[in-house]
Chains A and B, each alone.
Chain A
Amino acid sequence: MYVAVKGGERAIENAHAWLAEERRGDTSVAELSVAQIREQLSLAVNRVMAEGSLYDPDLAALAIKQARGDLIEAIFLIRAYRTTLPRFGASAPVETGEMVCDRRISATFKDAPGGQVLGPTFDYTHRLLDFKLAAEGAVPEAPEGEAKDGPVPHITGFLNREGLIQTEDESDATPPDLTREPMELPASRALRLQSLTRGDEGFVLGMAYSTQRGYARNHAFVGELRIGTVEVEMDIPELGFAIGIGEITLTECETVNQFKGSKTEPPQFTRGYGLVFGQTERKAISMALVDRALRWKELGEDDVGAPAQDEEFVLMHSDNIQATGFLEHIKLPHYVDFQSELELVRKLRREAEGQAAREAAE
């Protein structure tokens, strides 16, 4: 005797309890603290802040802990939390030219005012597993030097002086807000950049890589990559001036792209731009390449039909929270749709078989 399936509620509660237990793992192993994640898994924390669009290392670390290290799940937790926060206002644009750089490199000039600073990078490490880390050895202290004084101007500014790089139109207009208005296409560059900076790192990386392999190649040089802290300022109406409300770490990448000129533009270098929360340089470089590829229209280039040139394709599929939700929803029951398909397929097969039988009889 069949009894209609019941017990969804109890099943859900039990699943949650089991999940909590699995998240904790073997209780004879010490529990991770949020501070440990924040300090020792900081690049994961940075990614969660960047794609979660919320700069808060403690909450990002908590989300990583709660998500059992699943970063997209952690990003989701942060996004869902972020939407509930009240908005007091908007900051003034940050001045990345005044960044206190931990890292600042240029691939286009051997040296430039401000110098090249490698900073804490994996770049020239040999990727050999360090078994000493398994033994929890202490880290030898890194040598310290004096921080250089003086400004660290943007590299692209030098090219600008010669008129060799295309200039951007300045605007004080308030950019559209992706999180408060529905996406409208075609999108302005501000909206595209907003979407890319919170886009999935893997997706943006893949898109950028495709341009390097010839799908809308734009031959990018990393004019400059800088990572460091900038001050965030906000206008306080009661005071009548802006005050600093905190510091955030950002990664900024400006690419200098070869450009032979087009119907509308003279030969010059063109730009791609990436700006991402935290130390996230793979993402920032990827973002700059994709930004440049998406600018084909304003630069009068040809649409070669490459995926990275296709604004709607890129913007509508870069958000991993949208993507993972929709992808995973196919786990939900679809009995009703499937039943209607079953009946349709049976009907079409009956008709096809009937047809074949009639033809055989003739």
Chain B
Amino acid sequence: MNEYNFAYLDEQTKRMIRRAILKGLAIPGYQVPFASREMPMPYGWGTGGVQVSAATLVPEDRMKVIDQGADDTTNAVSIRKFFERTAGVETTEETGRATLIQTRHRIPQAALTEDQILVYQVPIPEPLRFLEPRETETRKMHALEEYGLMHVKLYEDISQHGAIATAYAYPVKVEGRYVMDPSPIPKFDNPKMEMAAIQLFGAGREQRIYALPPWCEVVSLDFEDHPFEPSKAEHDCDLCGAGESYLDEVIVDDAGGRMFVCSDTDYCRGRRAAGHVGAQGVPFEEGAA
């Protein structure tokens, strides 16, 4: 694919995207409009994240791509291959070795460092969208810091269900100013957003980029008497025994049998390599799944 520029996009486009990223970092949580390009993968499949990664990558980078926490899900494989072909950068599955991580729906289990960038794929960047479908209205609401509607929605959840009925894409407030959609990560991941790494969010179809600089204040919305609670399955990983990592539930037979495994496959593999064995696991062998 030599006929394409490094990381596919032309330099002018990358500069335009970088300007949007810098603006986003300067105003944490604010959605910066950008002239999103048509990419050779469908809208809704990570085009925003791909454009942000393309504008951020340098040839020395080591890239990791995950979807649902796993390196081997089909779309993660597809995006990783795209950058292998168009940027020729080294790729890795090891969180610790990666300099740039593109993710969909998860934050890696291991803490990230200030030498890393985490790029999120975002489907609907507007946290108020399902309360008010009009962009012309929601932009005004952000400008006026008019977030009452969101608090009413959360309150109505509590009065109806006894709890806030949002399990993923749980809204956060950034540096006491903008309410932001953390992308559809489980609310378990929300507290991790105050981190050392730079976090960039790309929404291609909706033409928005937003960002969190390192150690930016990110507060999950809640009430004093109904504090925010991150949650996960009350289980340990059946493969590596981890009690603190986010778990996927896997159906293993048609009689209600199920097991729980780490959603972060690299984290699980690392633990098993270090000798941890879960209730249904077997000792780790290099090269095996």
Contacts and interface: CB of A to CB of B under 8 A. Distances in A.
Interface string A315-345: 0100001101111110011111101111110
Interface residues of B, number: 68
Interface stretch (A40-48, A176-184, A297-305): A176-184
B18 interface: no
A6 to B, nearest CB: 5
Nearest to A326: B44
B43 interface: yes
Contacts of B167: 337, 340-341, 343-344
Q: Which of A180, A185, A335, A342 has the most CB of B within 10 A?
A: A335
B263 A336 contact: yes
B165 interface: yes
Interface in B165-204: 165, 167-169, 184-188
A80 B261 contact: no
Nearest to A337: B168
B205 A351 contact: no
Contacts of B72: 4-9
Contacts of B35: 179-182
Contacts of A76: 38, 42
A297 to B, nearest CB: 13
A343 B44 contact: no
A181 B105 CA distance: 28
Interface string A7-19: 1110110000000
B218 to A, nearest CB: 18
B231 interface: yes
A343 B233 contact: yes
Given A4-B265, A321-B43, A336-B186, A12 B78 contact: yes
B205 A326 contact: yes
A351 B249 contact: no
Given A183-B207, A336-B263, A2 B250 contact: yes
A316 B43 CA distance: 14
Contacts of B210: none
Given A182-B34, A183-B207, A84 B4 contact: yes
Given A76-B42, A336-B246, A326 B186 contact: no
Interface in B230-270: 231-233, 238-239, 246-250, 252, 259, 261, 263, 265, 268
Given A326-B205, A336-B68, A341-B168, A83 B37 contact: yes
A351 to B, nearest CB: 5
B273 to A, nearest CB: 14
Nearest to B43: A325
A333 B123 contact: no
B248 A339 contact: yes
A330 to B, nearest CB: 8
B136 A186 contact: yes
Contact of A322 (B33, B74, B205, B268): B205
Contact of A80 (B38, B74, B136, B248): B38
A312 B135 contact: yes
A8 B42 contact: no
A343 B42 contact: no
B152 interface: no
A164 interface: no
Contacts of B76: 8
B261 A4 contact: yes
Interface in B35-70: 35-40, 42-45, 47, 67-70
Contacts of B10: 84, 86
A348 B163 contact: yes
A324 B165 contact: no
A333 B73 contact: yes
B282 interface: yes
Contact of A182 (B33, B81, B231, B249): B33
A325 B41 CA distance: 8
A76 B205 CA distance: 13
Interface string B134-168: 11100000000000000000000000011101011
A343 B39 contact: no
A4 B67 contact: no
A38 B263 CA distance: 49
Nearest to A316: B135
A79 interface: yes
A336 B38 contact: no
B77 interface: yes
A4 B44 contact: no
Contacts of A82: 38
Nearest to A344: B167
A342 to B, nearest CB: 7
B136 A185 contact: yes
A146 B115 CA distance: 74
A3 interface: yes
A319 B114 CA distance: 39
Given A334-B105, A344-B165, 11 more contacts: A2-B250, A12-B77, A83-B37, A83-B38, A325-B47, A335-B68, A336-B69, A336-B263, A339-B263, A341-B168, A344-B163
Which 3 A-B residue pairs are closest in the complex by CB-CB distance? A325-B43, A329-B44, A325-B42
7 contacts: A4-B268, A4-B289, A8-B73, A11-B74, A179-B35, A334-B105, A339-B233
